[in-house]
Amino acid sequence: MNEVTKFPEMDAVFAEFAKIVGAENILRAGEPEAERLRDEHLPGYETEREPLPSGAVLPETTEQVQAIMRVATEHKVPLWTISMGRNYGYGGPSPAKHGCVTLDLRRMNKILEINEELAYAVVEPGVTPEALWAEIEKRGLALHMDSQSAPWGSLLGNAVDRGVGYSFMADRANAICGMEVVLPDGEILRTGTGALANSSTWHCYPAGFGPSVDGLFQQSNFGVVTRIGLWLIPRPDAFRHAEVYISDLSERAAFIDTLVGLRLAGIIDNGVSGGVNFGGHIEGAQGPGGGMFPPPPGVMPGMRARIGFRGTADVVSAKWQATDAAFSKLKSYSSNSHQYEAPYDYSDWTSEACLAAGIPTDRELKDWTGAHFLTFASILLPATGEAYEEMVRVVAPIFQRYGMPFAGSGFHMHSPRAIMCLIAAPLKGFPLLPPPMAAMVDNDASEQLIRDVIAEAAKHGWLEYRTGTQYMDMVRGLLDFNDNALPRLHDRLKAMFDPAGILSPGKSGIWPK
């Protein structure tokens, strides 16, 4: 690392941070451990374009976060908030601006409450799905939860960034109920009914009295969220996991319409995930690269989806029968399904069943290691087969221009009326390509390809649901209704919440003046 990236001018500020959190909870650029503050999955990693943090400060309490905000405001030092920093593909721990101090909240890892009766937990930023599940199991609580692709990431970070899960609480932002936030001036705020100091419904009823502000702190740089209530579900008497497939892509639109109809009717219960399938298990096929690489010789691509049902045993059986009957109208349909009934022995569950039920599993570890060397667009379509087909027609020629195949994308339906499609291009190091294609990978070309997809998608009315740090300015620039009224409001709110402009500059394309 060169002299510039050591940021020696920050010595006095880091000395003040050390007084707050202790010298052992400071990281400086150039120290070996500070490497984890960078994102090796950025297309611009190790180029001039990579925004390097000047170091990190790791508070353990909300009071320490307040004190850090005050020091940062006084010295006009930009902070970049992360919880665990595992939002792979969206920038990981990396800031959008060179020189930020990473506000790394991993030491705030307390599970503050688990309410078994009303099925919710209250967690700090450093609590991972694995840790919450371990606690539920240790206490023998009759609860299920929702996990995410990286069970060693942050539950809170994923939820406030409006990430997705795969189970019954897959719509993560809408599973948040009640937040505690530290504002850039150091003030603490409680949202929802938590505004009443002795509220007994803070984590039971999301709206409070008057305008609701929770959304202002999601995909946002207006505050630092220090705790959230997160809804769980009572452990169901029965759970069924099914993988549904079609082998003939000409039935793809009908396949999607069937999934959506069953989900809207309340028959399929979970946030469905799926994508192009090449038959048999191919590592990475369910990850963001699904559909990106060519099928093995002789294998025709099809499509698959992972679905789940909960309830009593007979309710779950009936939901599955209705689902199977609806899909049976498709000629190339097949399925693989298993019903589990309490008491559960989770060690018997397949990893796919765990994903559909929200039980943290590192099953995606083997698929996702290296599979993060991708850059992607994450576009929202209306949940119709017709829209998906149009997406393939629009995106395939863009891939062709870059000499790459496109067989369709992976998708998530965490929200039942929209399909979020992950359209991925490879970065150097992506292991799932045949060697001749791997040798041709060019990070700059892949980034440009994804920019072309994002721009073309917007022309069709398809917006990103979330995006990587390198694309945030671009996506914000697309929000053109009424002369960019929404981004202009974001700017006004930024100036109000954070007049010193210290918090996560560039997050969601929102920059201080």
Using alpha carbons, select from 474, 508, 497 the residue that is nearest to residue 162: 508
Does position 157 interact with ligand ADP (CB under 6 A)? The reply is yes
Q: Does 84 bind ligand ADP (CB under 6 A)?
A: yes
The first and second tokens of residue 7, run together, are 């940021």
Which residue minimizes CB distance to ligand ADP?
A: 157
In the three-class reduction of DSSP (H, G, I as helix; E, B as strand; rest coil), residue 180 is classed as strand
Measured at the CA of 404, the angle between CA 399 and CA 405, to 5 degrees, comes to 90
CB 97, min distance to ligand ADP, A: 13
153: contact with ligand ADP by CB under 6 A: yes
Q: What HEC string does 45-113 produce?
A: CCCCCCCCCCEEECCCCHHHHHHHHHHHHHHCCCEEEECCCCCCCCCCCCCCCCCCEEEECCCCCCEEE
CB of 228 to ligand ADP, least distance (A): 9
**Token output for 348:** 């018997």
Buried b or exposed e, range 77-107, using 16+ CB within 10 angstroms: bbbbbbbbbbbbbbbbbbbbbbbbbbbbbbb
Cβ closer to ligand ADP: 84 or 453?
84
Query: Smallest gap, in angstroms, from Cβ of residue 503 to ligand ADP?
Result: 9
Question: Does the footprint of ligand ADP cover residue 176 (CB under 6 A)?
Answer: no
d(CA 204, CA 141): 18
Residue closer to ligand ADP by CB (options 56, 387) is 56
Q: Is 154 in the site for ligand ADP (CB under 6 A)?
A: yes
Residue type, 424: A
Q: Residues 220, 222, 228, 231: what is their CA dihedral angle, to the nearest 10 degrees? A: -40
- Closest by CA position to 272, among listed 419, 423, 422, 413: 413
Q: Is 87 in the site for ligand ADP (CB under 6 A)?
A: yes
Q: Which residues pair with 80 in a beta bridge?
A: 102
* Element housing 413 (H / E): strand 410-413
Alpha-carbon gap, residue 306 to 123, rounded angstroms: 28
**Residues in 212-231 at the binding interface with ligand ADP, rule: CB under 6 A:** 224-225
Q: Which stretch binds ligand ADP (CB under 6 A): 34-42, 149-157, 346-354, 358-366?
A: 149-157
Among 51, 99, 125, 288, binds ligand ADP (CB under 6 A): 125
368 residue type, one letter: W
Residue 83 contacts ligand ADP per CB under 6 A: yes
Contact 453, 474 (CB under 8 A): no
CB nearer ligand ADP, residue 263 or residue 414: 414
Only one of the segments 150-158, 379-387, 457-465, 472-480 lies at the binding site for ligand ADP (rule: CB under 6 A); that segment is 150-158
State yes or no: residue 277 binds ligand ADP (CB under 6 A). no
Task: Select the residue interacting with ligand ADP from 77, 105, 356, 510 (CB under 6 A).
Answer: 105
160 touching ligand ADP, by CB under 6 A: yes
Among 28, 38, 41, 86, binds ligand ADP (CB under 6 A): 86
| Residue of the chain from 39, 60, 146, 161 that contacts ligand ADP (CB under 6 A) | 161
Using rule CB under 6 A, residue 506 touches ligand ADP: no
Number of residues in contact with ligand ADP under rule CB under 6 A: 21
Report the nearest approach of ligand ADP to the CB of residue 98 (Å). Answer: 16
Q: What minimum distance in Å lies between the beta carbon of 382 and ligand ADP?
A: 26
Judged by beta carbon, residue 224 or residue 260, the one nearer ligand ADP is 224
Q: Which is nearer to ligand ADP, 240 or 372 (CB)?
A: 372
Question: Which residue in the block uniquely carries the two structure tokens 């999601």?
Answer: 218
Q: Give the nearer residue to ligand ADP in terms of CB position, either 241 or 466.
A: 466
In angstroms, give the least distance from the CB of 507 to ligand ADP: 5
Stretch that binds ligand ADP, among 158-166, 339-347, 410-418, 446-454 (CB under 6 A): 158-166
Query: Of 216, 220, 217, 226, whose CA–CA distance to 182 is shortest?
Result: 226
- State both tokens at 377: 């667009």
User: To the nearest whole angstrom, how small is the minimum distance from the Cβ of residue 39 to ligand ADP?
Assistant: 10
CA distances from 186 to 79, 189, 243, 263, 282 (A): 13, 10, 48, 43, 49
- For residues 20 and 56, give the distance between their C-alpha atoms in angstroms, rounded to a whole number: 13
d(CA 513, CA 510): 9
Helix (H, G, I), strand (E, B) or coil at 273: strand
Residue 509 in the binding site for ligand ADP (CB under 6 A): no
Whether the Cβ atoms of residue 252 and residue 408 lie closer than 8 Å to each other: yes
Which range binds ligand ADP by CB under 6 A, 85-93, 193-201, 250-258, 392-400? 85-93
Q: At what angle do helices 443-459 and 385-401 cross, to 10 degrees?
A: 140
Token reading at 205: 């009823």
From residue 50 to residue 69, what is the string marking binding to ligand ADP with x (rule CB under 6 A)? --------------------
The yes or no reply on residue 191 touching ligand ADP (CB under 6 A) is: no
**Cα–Cα dist 403/373, whole Å:** 18
The pairing of strands 188-190 and 233-234 is unpaired
Candidates 157-165, 204-212, 255-263, 362-370 — which segment interacts with ligand ADP by CB under 6 A?
157-165
Counting contacts by CB under 6 A, is residue 288 touching ligand ADP? Answer: no
Asked if 409 is part of the footprint of ligand ADP (rule: CB under 6 A), the reply reads no
Catalog residues that contact ligand ADP under the rule CB under 6 A. 81-87, 91, 105, 125, 153-154, 156-158, 160-161, 224-225, 504, 507
